[in-house]
Homo-oligomer: A and B are copies of this chain.
């Protein structure tokens, strides 16, 4: 299970692919692999991070506590993504907390391995920069969605997002199962409102459910809803 970064396929999805053989070797020698159970934190808002987490398996929610006591989920990070880099790069405490929403396997990479390369290998730095540019664009999109779309549209969009990014299981349910509360924290609404809209979608035949699990039944109509019909 402990494996070498040099041979890790996951790396292809993130900025580590721009590292040289020697750099990767160093990373690999310094990294530790951790198992994190669903519900357990990787870190809390305000923590000083001594490194970054490279996700090998599972999904983590990145969220921020707002003044009114609700958690806003800002991003779901999955296989191949690196968590905590923003904080390491800016040399600040994290502005987000990270909690596993499914069982996870992650590699913890001490920040020295990263910062060394950031100073010496422009290819790597640029690759990190490109990833962050992408994240920033996505964040802009989220801002627009939050402010301009209705809760109904945002929930529909969330389901489509979950399908596209995490797929479905054999029975046609979304592979990543989130609690109703997590769903409401993704779209930024009250849990009761989210539940009500889920019920409505079910009645209208857009989705089907079984316990927590949700399956998409009429993707086309969900898409129409998101686009405003």
Contacts and interface: CB of A to CB of B under 8 A. Distances in A.
Main secondary structure of the interface of A (DSSP, over half): helix
A125 interface: yes
Given A64-B140, A68-B228, 18 more contacts: A66-B149, A67-B148, A68-B148, A68-B149, A72-B147, A86-B133, A89-B129, A90-B134, A92-B137, A119-B122, A119-B123, A119-B126, A120-B122, A122-B125, A125-B129, A129-B132, A135-B136, A146-B146
A170 interface: no
Contacts of A67: 148-149, 227-228
A90 B143 contact: no
A27 interface: no
Contacts of A149: 66-68
Copies in the complex: 2
A145 to B, nearest CB: 8
Contacts of A147: 66, 72, 146, 187-189
A122 B118 contact: yes
Q: Classify chain A's interface size.
A: 35 or more
A141 interface: yes
A90 B133 contact: yes
Interface in A115-160: 118-123, 125-126, 128-130, 132-137, 139-149
